[in-house]
Structure 1
Amino acid sequence: MVRVEEILDLDRISAVQSRIIWIARVSWAFVAMEIILISFTLPLFTRILGLNEIQKGLLASAVLIGDVIGAALFGRISDIIGRRPVFQLSLLWYSIFTALTALSTGFYDLLAYRLLAGVGLGGMLVVDPALLSEFLPPRRRGMLMVSLDLFWPVGSLVALGLAYVFLELGGGSWRLLFLAAAFPALTISLFRLYVPESPYYLAKKGDLARASEVLRRLTGRDVRPESIEFAIEERGSYEELFTKYRGRAIAMLFAWASLNYTYYGLFLWLPEVLGVAKLYGNIWLYLALAFILQIPGYVSAMILVERWGRKKTLVLYLLMSGITGIVMAIATGDALIFTLALLMVSFFNLGAWGSVYPFTSELFPTKLRGKAFGLAEGFGKIIAVLGPIIFGALFQITGSVETPLLATMIIAIIGSVAVQILAPETKGMIFD
């Protein structure tokens, strides 16, 4: 008898696995594209619909609210009917409601379509990584999963390109923008039909014939149904998480909350912030540079977590994103300092994302790791919803973009300090 992960434990990535990885990466870029897309339309919707700052904050957070609902809904459904059906449905769902956004006539239906599109994205956020991880060799799974987030800034750049074409060159053609954003997602949904059901899920359900067929396709090995063994993993409890590992759990929540709050609070308001700052030239160039700098920020963190340490890298990048963000808030009247600070915020914020995954995975033993990640993702997304809303409320109350920007970036510093005080360094730590 042999376990599923032992069958998948190859020294190489097969051609089938490679195709699935690339399908997941492109899909992940579309998640980022969809979330960030609304930020480019907020100035236009302000003029067309007469939105106030609180309404703009709600509109920016609508997709994130849908994310929370979709993650809970589709995560549960995927445990009942399988990963693959939800993998197909979630992208199709978000594509349809993204296209329907083009039919909006006012604030409330626009808000509803964005929230419903977010439900599909929530399904993708929870099911795509879970399904991908269940196709990969265990010894290479960690790095390949972390590399998925490299395609997040790629998706942001795609959103920026579409927005520039339809809003800047197209004279504010926001309806065409949302139709165009839905089309490539619909196209990739056809490629997602290539992805099979998870062999883990099939083995757990007792469908060993289909599990062996998927494993043969993934690995090229001759896998017989009767040879597959599925071991039921020991499951930990939330009580154990917050008793035996209380300090680490709190540090984890601070890290994920501060990252989600600062990323979504800042970047979903970034076009508005750039519109207030006294900059030279076109703000589209500044946006492009900010998103481009996210890529080396992420890569640098992936290198440092191995060479320097998980905790040290996360603390440094969170702290620097907060400090440079505060400089950015103070320097809205100085184009050069503001621009340099903006680029550093982008670099360090995405770098912090690159270090939080290996940091979190090594804080807890195997039986608690799944619960810890689920809690971190869920709590983080709830906090993410608050970022754009609170930013808009502070903007409305103070009439100044500097105040919400300062408040947002201070959260990153608080997260950095909490991790430094409460969490151990996990590099080289051995768990059962």
Structure 2
Amino acid sequence: MEEANKLPDKKVQEKDVENQQHAYDDTSSLAKGDILQLEHTDPVLNAKMHLVNNAIDEIGFTRYQWRLFVLNGFGYAVDSLILLIQSVISAQAVLEFNPSYRNGLTIAAYVGMLVGALFWGLTADIMGRKIAFNLSLLICSVFAIVAGASPNWEVLGLFICLSSFGGGGNLVLDTAVFLEYLPSYRQWMLTLMAAWWGIGQLIAGFFAWAFLPNYSCADPATTPNAPPCTRANNQGWRYVWYASGSLVFVMSILRITVIRLKETPKFLVSEGRDAECVETLQFIANKYNRPCSLTLDVMQACGTIEKRARDGKSKWGFGEVWIHLKGLYATKRIGISTSLIWLSWTLIGLAYPLYNVFLPAYLASRGAAFGQPSAYITWRNYTLVNFSGIWGPVLAGWLCSTRLGRKYTMVVGALITMAFFFAYTQVRTATQNVVFTCLINFFLNIYYGTLYAYTPEVLPSAHRGTGNGIAIGWNRVMGILSAVIATVADTGTAVPIYICAALYIFMAAIAIAFPFEPYGKRSS
């Protein structure tokens, strides 16, 4: 195999773990391969990103990426875990504290996740991905454990908000970190990683099923002679928080001990730190006995990127944030892509909680209509629904690697979800109720999981954290709005179902309009 740094216009043979052969054109002319290659933003940065892509493909898929798949997947799981935990324990906490605003915990969770997404996202392009990777879950776990000891409603909301702040940055950083180490022929795994979201939901369902039916006070609305609800007879929701926080704490320790994450090569390149980028890639290649022909001389021969050439002020100022915002609209196509991505996240941010966060209330109302009012049956069904959500991203990962690509996988997921939403309003039996909710969660996560992967794939690497953070920030804003809607509307009726169905039609149309298709190309 010829060395790529001897003749940059020659083809380089790479082997992945299964010794499959892949060839890429190693040239800074960007003749093919990279998603944003024709956008003509910073030619020097594009050339260096192309060389980094070549080096990552040459190294191939190693145990390092497998560890990232699991450890970054923890972040996906925790995001859904914290969001759903506050939802499932809310009713019991309300019975104990008798708050004036019953949906306050949902707003607290989404406010924390909104601030977390913006903070970790905006700073990730400034201080790097590594710090958030190591700290976010630790922050989340500490406040999740403390939330279980809350003496009143206001303190509980505060700790949920702080826990969500830590968890809210994971969806921004986990996709970026994994993608920026991932060989291009394995980029479909970014969609597959969303299966961890369903695992987080499943864990939430298991904890609710295990603790709430057996360690909760009775609701006077359904049990007229129920004793007063106190801390002594209502420990179940606290046990749920203790168990969840402890699990997240273990995950945070594993992140630090199992893999000592190095800063991602693409972030280092965008910061002009070519030597560290080459050192990181060579370290991985040497550790796993893989080839890596990238050298510092080849990188520096491309020139100096524009951003570093004009840096003269503090990187922590508003000017630096403005640079990243402008980078998301560097060209017309990139600007259209950014806007449509943000719109998609806004719509799914309303559709998802209207259905999933308030699903317990709807399931309880339907269960009561079917003669199944018991808490055990409700949480059993909830766990089954969450289990079905794991497999949507698995199917989506396979579909993304076919000619359907990312865009039309989202279209398929959105339209089938819409069809089942409409069909769900005609459910008349308990069995139909469980089957249809499982199918909805399965197909819903095909769209959601693909959108999670598509977003960082098409954003410029230098501005990926900012764009991803704002996208998820819009998602959280709509989550807050959904809690307000739940206050003035009856979520036990089918109205939210009709609204969600209409939103998914709109999301399918937006997916068709996306200007970039990552299938067969490499993230920039």
Q: Which position in structure 1 is the counterpart of 2:247?
A: 184
**Counterpart position of 1:197:** 262
1:363–1:88 CA distance, 2 compared to 1 (3 A) = closer
- State yes or no: 1:320 paired with 2:386: no
Q: State the alpha-carbon separation in 2 of the partners of residues 275 and 204 from structure 1.
A: 51
- Please say which of residues 171-180 and 117-126 is displaced more in the overlay: 171-180
Give 2:412's aligned amino acid. L
Does the CA-based 8 Å contact 2:55-2:294 persist in structure 1?
no
Within 5 Å, give how 1:207-286 maps onto structure 2: 211-220=277-286, 226-227=296-297, 229=299, 232=305, 237-239=327-329, 243-244=332-333, 251-277=340-366, 278-279=369-370, 282-286=377-381
Cα deviation code 1:26-85 (max 9, x no counterpart): 332222212211121122123222357xx3433123222211211222233334443222
The 2-side partners of 1:144 and 1:313 are apart by 14
**2:404 matched to 1:308?**
yes
Distance of aligned partners of 1:199 and 1:44 in 2 relative to their CA distance in 1, 3 Å threshold: closer
> Does residue 178 of structure 2 align to residue 112 of structure 1?
no
1:299 corresponds, among 394, 398, 401, to 394
Distance 1:211 1:191 in 2: 25
5 Å-filtered alignment, 1:57-68, equals: 57-68=103-114
Indicate which of 184, 190, 202 corresponds to 1:145: 190
Instruction: Please list the CA deviations of residues 176-211 of structure 1 after superposition, one character each: whole Å capped at 9, or x if unmatched.
Output: 221111112212222222332214244555666654
Q: Please, which of 138, 142, 159 is the counterpart of residue 92 of structure 1?
A: 138
Contact conserved, 2:417 with 2:443, CA < 8 A, in 1?
A: yes
How many Å separate the matches in 2 of 1:207 and 1:254? Answer: 34
Change (3 A) 1:329 1:139: same
Q: Which residue of 2 aligns with 1:127?
A: 173
Structure 1 or 2, whichever has the larger Rg, is 2
Give yes or no for contact 1:289–1:343 (8 Å, CA) kept in 2: yes
Query: Alignment partner for residue 38 of structure 1, among 83, 86, 91?
Result: 86
CA displacement 1:358-380 (0-9 Å, x = unmatched): 65578788899877655533333
Residue from 183, 200, 203 that aligns with 1:158: 203
Structure 2 equivalent of residue 345 of structure 1:
440
Aligned partner letter, 1:387: S
Deviations 1:263-314 (A, max 9, x none): 2222111112111113465122211221122233222333334243544432
2:121 — aligned with what? 75
Q: Which moved more, 1:179-188 or 1:232-241?
A: 232-241
Closer/same/farther in 2, CA of residues 408 and 377 from structure 1, 3 Å limit = same
Structure 1 residue 401 displacement after superposition: 3.0
The whole-number CA distance in structure 2 between the counterparts of 1:212 and 1:204 is: 13
- 1:10 — aligned with what? 58
Q: Given that residues 84 and 195 in structure 1 are in contact (C-alpha distance below 8 angstroms), is that contact kept between their aligned partners in structure 2?
A: no
For the Cα contact (< 8 Å) 1:321–1:348, is it kept in 2?
yes
Relative distance call for 1:251 and 1:135 in structure 2 (3 A) is closer
Which one-letter code corresponds to 1:271 in the other structure?
A: P
Counterpart residue type for residue 472 of structure 2 = E
Counterpart AA for 1:99: I
Call closer, same or farther: CA 1:92–1:269 in 2, change over 3 Å: same
Paired residues of 2:176 and 2:456 also in contact (CA < 8 A): no
* Pairing 1:393–2:488 present: yes
Change (3 A) 1:117 1:228: farther
Which residues of structure 2 form unaligned runs of 5+?
A: 6-47, 217-234, 308-323
SS of equivalent to 1:13: coil
Is the 1:4–1:228 Cα contact (8 Å) retained in structure 2? no
2:385 to 270, 279, 290: 290
* Preserved CA contact (<8 Å) 2:139 2:166: yes
Give SS of 1:401's match: coil
1:393 offset after TM fit, Å? 2.6
Partners of 1:49 and 1:373 in 2: how far apart? 37
> Judging changes above 3 Å, is the alpha-carbon distance between structure 1 residues 211 and 247 closer, same or farther for their aligned structure 2 residues?
closer
- SS of 1:168 mapped into structure 2: coil
Selected match of 1:404 from 496, 502, 511: 496
Displacement after TM superposition at 1:118 (Å): 1.2
DSSP-derived class of the 2:188 partner: helix
- Identity across the alignment (%): 22
Long gaps (5+) in structure 1: none
Alignment partners' CA distance in 2, 1:280 and 1:296: 30
Selected match of 2:71 from 23, 30, 44: 23
How many angstroms apart in 1 are the aligned matches of 2:408 and 2:55?
Answer: 36
Offset at 1:21?
2.4
19 and 63 in structure 1: CA distance in 2 versus 1, 3 angstrom threshold: same
Higher mean displacement: 385-394 or 144-153: 385-394
Tell me how large the CA RMSD over aligned residues is. 3.5
Distance, in Å, in 2 between the alignment partners of 1:261 and 1:209 is 44
Taking structure 2 as the reference length, what is the TM-score of the superposition?
Answer: 0.70
In structure 2, relative to structure 1, the CA distance for the partners of 1:51 and 1:7 (3 Å cut) is: same
SS in 2 for 1:10: helix
